[in-house]
Amino acid sequence: MRRIVVDTDTGIDDAHTLLYLAGRPDAEIVAITSVYGNCAEEDATRNIGYVARLLGLDAPVARGAAEPLRGPAHIAGHVHGKDGLGDLGLDRPLPPVAAESGPELLTRLANERPGELDLLALGPLTNLALALRQDPELFTKYRSVVLMGGSGPYAPPGTLLMIDANINNDPEAARAVFAAPRRELVMVGVNVTAGTILDEQAIAALRASAAPAARFATDILAAYLDFYQNEWGRRIIPLHDPLAAGVLLDPTFATAWTDGPVNVRGDGFLYRARLMRTHDGLPPAFPYEPAPATRVITAVDTRRFVADFVEVLTK
């Protein structure tokens, strides 16, 4: 059983992740913290409340960061809809929230239950960085920290990757996370999530199901499909955040990984978190900052994970 604290900028794939976690018998959602990213922080909190009510989930909710450590927030309304759940006009009142902030909740739970909890970060890493300011040893007190973000090792020459949005939204916070001491830090980046596709057949299976989770999962898909059809010419989506949850619960979904230092680097336009290795395992051709080893996922069994995701939501 994995007892999981979820930090989320609750957009469409974050909602799918909560549905997936709630449907897995080996997962317990212990608490949820909100952060800006796919939508504004208030919308992220409202969406947590909506999904929790749908699932009958009784876990404390704490409101987190509304903007990065520096600079303005970049909100992905063009991807997830302005409200984060596809702008369907859902009734989304604010749920009851804890008196403490998201970073305070992350810190308190880790110190009250050291070694018992896993932290799953699905959005910009601002809450985690703020929590590290309160407790620099925070990650040593979580059983594991698994994050959806990063771009893996340097790609083969001529290869382009999807934007590393969670890192790009707050590179300063990401630097603090990858530099912190930890028990286990796992990076599930766009190098593997972009190819983990919920295709037409899988979407049809969700639509055909009478299960409430599957119905909701397909109801909110339109905005996401509208965005990704411009990438591939097909109405399909990548399972970014759900894959990170899958790897946390079942590490055998990952078929290859490398342990090594991760740096956050910018190219003048965007920031990415990179394993400081080339695609063939060599160090990069420039100096880089030393950092504790992060487990960087480099390949996954996409067929098996997508099948599991669909099975869990259609139960």
Q: Do 109 and 31 contact (CB within 8 A), yes or no?
A: yes
- Report, as an integer, the average pLDDT of 257-270: 96
> How sure is the predictor about 195, in pLDDT bands with cuts at 50, 70 and 90?
very high
**Could you tell me the domains of the chain?**
2-313 (3.90.245.10)
Q: Do 263 and 289 contact (CB within 8 A), yes or no?
A: yes
Question: Per-residue pLDDT for 80 more than 90?
Answer: yes
Q: Do 308 and 247 contact (CB within 8 A), yes or no?
A: no
DSSP H or E stretch at residue 28: strand 27-34
Annotated catalytic residues are 240
pLDDT of residue 90: 97
- Report, as an integer, the average pLDDT of 251-264: 98
Percent of the chain with pLDDT over 90: 99
pTM: 0.98
pLDDT of residue 300: 98
Q: Do 188 and 148 contact (CB within 8 A), yes or no?
A: yes
- Report, as an integer, the average pLDDT of 98-114: 98
Pairwise CA distance, residues 178 & 162, whole Å: 21
Helices (H), 97-153: 102-112, 126-134
Question: Per-residue pLDDT for 313 more than 90?
Answer: yes
Tens-digit pLDDT profile for residues 107-144: 999 999 999 999 999 999 999 999 999 999 999 999 99
- Report, as an integer, the average pLDDT of 56-85: 96
Q: Do 137 and 178 contact (CB within 8 A), yes or no?
A: no
pLDDT of residue 211: 96
Tens-digit pLDDT profile for residues 289-305: 999 999 999 999 999 99
For residue 229, the one-letter residue type is: Q
Pairwise CA distance, residues 48 & 234, whole Å: 29
Pairwise CA distance, residues 226 & 236, whole Å: 9
Question: Per-residue pLDDT for 160 more than 90?
Answer: no
- Report, as an integer, the average pLDDT of 185-193: 98
Q: Do 298 and 191 contact (CB within 8 A), yes or no?
A: yes
Average pLDDT of the chain? 97
Q: What angle do CA 68, 70, 71 make, to 5 degrees?
A: 85
Q: Do 13 and 240 contact (CB within 8 A), yes or no?
A: yes
pLDDT of residue 111: 98
Secondary structure percentages of the chain, helix, strand, coil, to 5: 40, 20, 40
CA 172 to chain centre: 18
Q: Do 214 and 206 contact (CB within 8 A), yes or no?
A: yes
For residue 23, the one-letter residue type is: G
